[in-house]
Structure 1
Amino acid sequence: MHLDLRMIIEVLQAGADAYTLKDSEPSELLTAVKNVLAGKMYLSSKVIKLLVKDYISKHSVPLSLEQLKDLSARERQVLSLISESKSIKEIAEELHISRSTADTHKANLMRKLGCENTNELIRFAMREGIVDLDE
């Protein structure tokens, strides 16, 4: 089958006890059948990875207050401006700092908050209430 989260969830909700991908090796299919016959469930490793990643993104544990305290006032300002869709150039101009410094603040935020991209930074800020959406 396909590595499509929606399809995987629908199939499992419908009662399937196994889910393998179209490109699975015959040995994996045999393992899946044996597991189901033994009353167990079987999911391809790629399917498990996708489901776990989805679960974690929806159920991430908020950072502790101590970790949030690790953000400097300037990093909070940069995070707020990033959440307003400001570019590094605009952030640097507004805060009267160099682009390099603004970029360093962004990199530090991503490292401290465990974010891989700007969208994750924005989602984090919204989820943790760091950014006021009414402004």
Structure 2
Amino acid sequence: MNKVTRFINPKNREHVLFLMMQLLDAGLLEHEEVVIELREKTRSDEQNACLHAMIGDVAEQLPYQGEWLKPQQWKPLFVSGHAVATDLPHQVVTGLEGEWVNIRESTAKMSIKRCASLITYVEAYGIESGVQFRGVY
């Protein structure tokens, strides 16, 4: 049984319980591995596009420590700074070749609320630094 069901709103609670009872009644929970995951919905495609567009604007308009960085270099700086600013744990470790690596959270797994906070963080940093956001996101 390979089935993924997404429940979008609280009105589906009864449906979730019904499906779990069906699994129990059919004996599927006794003979197969079943994973039931309850979590917040992760960031939307629109948020992802907005975040990357904003980071692109920053990369085009600001050097970092005297060097022009690509958007993919700015992104971990923003995710790391946002984690510190919001009191999330952060960790820097020695990498496999002796380099420093920041172990950071994944933007793909961020909740919608968390990603909105990151977007606000990027926006605040950009505005404070004089970035003119295109505003097409």
TM class, shorter-length: 0.3 to 0.5
Which of the pair has the greater relative contact order for Cα pairs under 8 Å at 6+ separation? 2
**Greater share of helix:** 1
- Larger Rg computed on CA atoms: 1
